[in-house]
Structure 1
Amino acid sequence: MDIVSTFSTHDARLYPPSVKGELTREVYTRSINANYFNQVQAGAIEEAEIGLTNAPRLFPMLKKLELLTNITFNSRWKFLTDSRSGFSYTSHPDIRYNEYEGYYLENAAHEEISILLLSTSPNPAYEKIYKVTVERFYEEH
């Protein structure tokens, strides 16, 4: 099922069982010092995992990151105020965005990081080469 969610065109009849596939799965483990000052009770990870584990779905590929920095004060005091990520699912080109995480400011400096495939070669060996570009947008006052 995980292979199909990552590669929606996967045909099990074309690949014999001897072909080894690697599955992508989110794994949750106990954190270091989880019981420091008794902050995490025994069994909390198992209970939380039920709510944190994703249902089977198409695999989301990270495509863009948006980072916003505060510019309303002194320009020397820039700090990250907000961010969101854009992703697309397997076999779907449209980019979907998560909600902004942080404190959104209308006049924040906007950094957009695009994660694009560098190679257009049909050779699968080059499919994992990426180029990351950053663009800056500042509102004029």
Structure 2
Amino acid sequence: MKKLIIINGPNLNLLGKREPNIYGSLSFTEFLDTIKEKYKTVSIEHFQSNIEGELIDKLQEVGFSYDGIILNAAAYTHTSVGIGDAVKAIETPVVEVHISNTFGREEFRHHSYIAPNAKGIILGFGLQSYELAIQSFL
């Protein structure tokens, strides 16, 4: 059984409430339940933190033993050299995910410190971006 983890960064705990015109009205917990039901042969875990260091700690914790990491570092994508370095330091492949099309938003969101060390990037497909990332590991 493949072992995957979805790691979500700041403010993604507010999905379903935060800017539904951009992020939709479904909570991440509701979405995760449907994904786990759909992919019963895959172990899918989830971790969310608003704290940069906790995201780095989790990447280091799972980055040598999991089959894949789906990382939505949210705003830290564009600001955190530390998260980018953590992705570079681990062995587990990372797919960078974004719910919105970051290139259709503010210019500062057009740069990623994660992308140079990611297996790939999926963005702009809403919550389906996560499912596409799961499929990339299967």
TM superposition score category, shorter chain reference: under 0.3
TM-score normalised by L of structure 1: 0.23
Larger-gyration structure (1/2): 1
> Larger RCO: Structure 1 or Structure 2 (Cα < 8 Å, ≥ 6 residues apart)?
2
Q: Which has the higher strand share?
A: 1
TM-score normalised by L of structure 2: 0.23
Q: Which has the higher helix share?
A: 2
